[in-house]
RNA sequence: UGACCGAUGGUGUAACGGUAGCACAGAAGUUUUUGGUGCUUUUAGUUGAGGUUCGAAUCCUUGUCGGUCAACCA
């Protein structure tokens, strides 16, 4: 059954289970709560859950863990489904924990009948007080020994809306002196008169996570229920409930959440960034959300590669953002169409050119079948301001008076003269071109000191460029003193609106990824329109030079 | 100072009693009509102390450090 060697401890477990004949095939599930957008941490969980099922010939369910109606919404359901699909995974079924509310109620009644659950009248504060502490045993609720009949009647009355929120709960009768706080008679049901995004106002009692998750797993016959480390203490409750109920014994396994430095990876914190307008939305390109990364131009492939390289383990970890950048560049280098865009234009006049010359330039040197595009070389062009230097430096790759340089895909030009404005600032540069130096058919023999990107002033189109920096100034905002928002990098967005692009970029769509030569990888923003063409910088080119 | 989980280069991850390897990051070189890409080389690691063993990252004991748990959240 197994294809390759297990590459992590989860796969080792599955390997062993399959070999032992414990299961014929496996079923996993990805169980998001629809109360926020998916982020890189979820991507790791998605890749793991769908990945192992694929590898071992099993299936994966998408299950919305929608047991808390006050925070959940269909907006999130829609975005989650879109994100999972975009990442490239297909679920066998879409389920909702709310699909099982009736069954869960029956399970609860069974527990009551077995004497394993009771209705408790204690308030939240009272329950907290009698719960004890990690080093001190708790005390029994005075309602712990109600009769089965009384519990049954009370629980039914809870369902019927006879009590107010907080007035009564259903609790499992386990062990108030357990060293595991979660085993001290955990709540199973609470009363909430809230409108549920799917069941509407049908219910006023809702199961807690502990009484929904494992039961849902069991109903779906999930073989390997993979969750994050913080659920380790829940496993004891998970197993206890399944055993008492006598239902399909799904098993829970835990792995470490994936984090990335210089950002935060919690829905609660990301929600704050959105609500307090530190970013423009869940899909702001600076956000580590799947939708944010997608909008920025990061590909699903790159995210999957990143998750694979980040690996699966049982210890808390923080991955370096540079690993993600590497995965993005590796992918984009292969597929991005090369284009030229000048961010800060400097006019260059080719004084000996009296015609327009049509050029064909390759779309991607890494892709033989990438084809070419047409560009016009004209006697007035723009280069990058910083690509002209007045003071000669050692090892320069720039334009300089008296020196020759190549214009990418076009000709070698000799820089002759700087024309100045009244205030002595540079107005334009005058050059002459070598007619026999055309790219690909150069017979000039002229040595150049580098190659520059350029655009024709006649044909160039204005574009807006949005460049992004890390969202936080510190590696791990959650670990710092005080509020994580104190460490927000207020310069994380830089908008360039002086940029001029080669005309082919008018046709850019969201199916294209671009490399603007010598600038980085860029992707059309969803706010782009024919009158304002906007590109997001996905990631810069690797730069070994500016550091030296 | 309870229970549970964990500890391998800067970061992440392998090794399943038998040569500590890989990737990212860093450094050096090379190629290059992108200071990109490619290619070559290279720096750097087993949490401390004891034990078991011919042999320990791995097994045992113990210390240290980190994380989690006392939401009617998931």
Q: Whole-angstrom Cα distance, residue A522 to residue A465?
A: 9
Helix segments in A405-490, DSSP class H: none
- Domains delineated in chain A: 9-255 (3.40.50.620), 263-337+463-539 (1.10.1160.10), 341-453 (2.40.240.10)
List, for residues A352-387, the tens digit of each pLDDT value: 999 999 999 999 999 999 999 999 999 999 999 999
| Helices and strands per DSSP (H, E), number in chain A | 12, 27
Catalytic residue chosen out of the listed positions A267, A329, A466, A519 = A267
Return the bridge partners of A102, or none: none
Q: For chain A, what is the largest distance between any 2 Cα atoms, rounded to a whole number of angstroms?
A: 102
pLDDT-derived band at A546 (thresholds 50, 70, 90) equals: confident
Return the pLDDT at A396.
79
Neighbours of A101 (CB within 10 A): 21
Q: Whole-angstrom Cα distance, residue A29 to residue A100?
A: 15
| pLDDT for A88 beyond 60 | yes
**pTM of the full structure:** 0.96
CB A437 within 8 A of CB A352: no
List, for residues A168-195, the tens digit of each pLDDT value: 999 999 999 999 999 999 999 999 999 9
Residue nearest to nucleotide B23 (CA to C1'): A309
Closest nucleotide to the alpha carbon of A440, via C1': B33
| pLDDT for A460 beyond 50 | yes
Calculate the alpha carbon distances from A96 to A32, A220, A241, A249 in Å.
Answer: 10, 11, 20, 20
Return the pLDDT at A2.
38
A33 counts as catalytic: yes
What share of chain A in percent tops pLDDT 90?
Answer: 95
Reported ipTM: 0.97
| pLDDT for A1 beyond 60 | no
What sign results for the dihedral spanned by CA atoms A82, A83, A84, A90?
A: positive
Which among A372, A371, A339 has a CA at the least distance from the CA of A358? A372
Q: How many angstroms is C1' of B16 away from CA of A146?
A: 52
pLDDT-derived band at A547 (thresholds 50, 70, 90) equals: low
A485 counts as catalytic: no
List, for residues A491-531, the tens digit of each pLDDT value: 999 999 999 999 999 999 999 999 999 999 999 999 999 99
A355 counts as catalytic: no
List, for residues A279-292, the tens digit of each pLDDT value: 999 999 999 999 99
| pLDDT for A548 beyond 70 | no
CB A171 within 8 A of CB A154: no
Chain B nucleotides close to protein (CB under 7 A) are 1-8, 10-14, 16, 23-28, 33-38, 66-74
Residue nearest to nucleotide B66 (CA to C1'): A316
pLDDT-derived band at A4 (thresholds 50, 70, 90) equals: low
Which among A541, A11, A38, A538 has a CA at the least distance from the CA of A302? A538
- Mean pLDDT, rounded, of chain A: 96
Closest nucleotide to the alpha carbon of A186, via C1': B72
């Amino acid at each position: 059954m197994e294809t390759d060697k297990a590459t992590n401890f989860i796969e080792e477990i599955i390997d062993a289970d399959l070999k032992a004949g414990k299961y014929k095939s496996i079923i996993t599930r990805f169980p998001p709560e629809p109360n926020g957008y998916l982020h890189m941490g979820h991507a790791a969980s998605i890749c793991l859950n769908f990945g192992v099922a694929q590898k071992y010939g099993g299936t994966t369910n998408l299950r919305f863990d929608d047991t808390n109606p006050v925070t959940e919404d269909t907006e999130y359901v829609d975005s989650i489904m879109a994100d999972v699909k975009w990442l490239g995974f297909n679920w066998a079924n879409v389920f909702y924990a709310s699909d099982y509310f009736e069954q869960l109620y029956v399970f609860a009644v069974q527990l009551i009948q077995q004497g394993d659950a009771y209705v408790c009248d204690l308030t939240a504060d009272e329950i907290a007080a009698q719960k004890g502490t990690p080093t001190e045993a708790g005390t029994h609720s005075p309602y712990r020994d109600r009769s089965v009949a009384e519990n049954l009647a009370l629980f039914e009355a809870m369902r019927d809306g006879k009590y107010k929120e907080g007035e009564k709960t259903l609790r499992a009768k386990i062990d108030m002196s357990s060293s595991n706080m979660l085993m001290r008679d955990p709540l199973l049901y609470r009363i909430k008169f809230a409108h549920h995004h799917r069941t509407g106002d049908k219910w006023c009692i809702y199961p807690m996570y502990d009484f929904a998750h494992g039961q849902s797993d069991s109903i779906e016959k999930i073989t390997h229920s993979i969750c994050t480390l913080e659920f380790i203490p829940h496993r004891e409750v998970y197993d206890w409930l399944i055993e008492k109920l006598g239902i399909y014994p799904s098993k829970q396994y835990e792995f470490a959440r994936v984090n990335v430095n210089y950002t935060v990876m919690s829905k609660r914190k990301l929600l704050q960034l959105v609500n307090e307008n530190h970013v423009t939305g869940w899909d702001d390109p600076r956000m580590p959300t799947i939708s944010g990364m997608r909008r920025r131009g990061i590909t699903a492939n790159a995210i999957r590669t990143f998750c694979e390289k980040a690996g699966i383990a049982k210890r808390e970890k923080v991955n370096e953002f540079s690993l993600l950048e590497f995965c993005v560049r590796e992918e984009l280098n292969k597929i991005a169409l090369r284009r030229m865009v000048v961010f800060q234009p400097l006019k260059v006049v080719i004084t000996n050119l009296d015609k327009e010359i049509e050029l064909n330039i390759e779309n991607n040197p890494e892709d033989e079948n990438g084809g070419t595009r047409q560009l016009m070389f004209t006697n007035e062009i723009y280069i990058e301001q910083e690509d002209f230097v007045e003071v000669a430096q050692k090892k320069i790759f720039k334009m300089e008076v008296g020196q020759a340089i190549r214009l990418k895909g076009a000709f070698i030009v000799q820089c002759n003269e700087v024309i100045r404005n009244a205030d002595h600032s540079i107005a334009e540069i005058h050059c002459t071109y070598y007619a026999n130096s055309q790219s690909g058919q150069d017979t000039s023999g002229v040595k150049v000191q580098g190659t520059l990107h350029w655009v024709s002033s006649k044909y160039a189109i204005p574009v807006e460029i949005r460049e992004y920096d890390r969202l936080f100034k510190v590696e791990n905002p959650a670990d710092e003193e005080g509020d994580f928002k104190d460490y927000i990098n207020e310069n994380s967005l830089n908008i360039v609106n002086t940029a001029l692009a080669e005309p082919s970029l008018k046709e850019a769509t969201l199916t294209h990824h671009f490399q603007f030569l010598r600038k980085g990888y860029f992707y059309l923003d969803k706010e782009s329109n024919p009158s304002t063409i906007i590109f997001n910088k996905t990631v810069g080119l690797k730069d070994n030079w500016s550091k030296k």
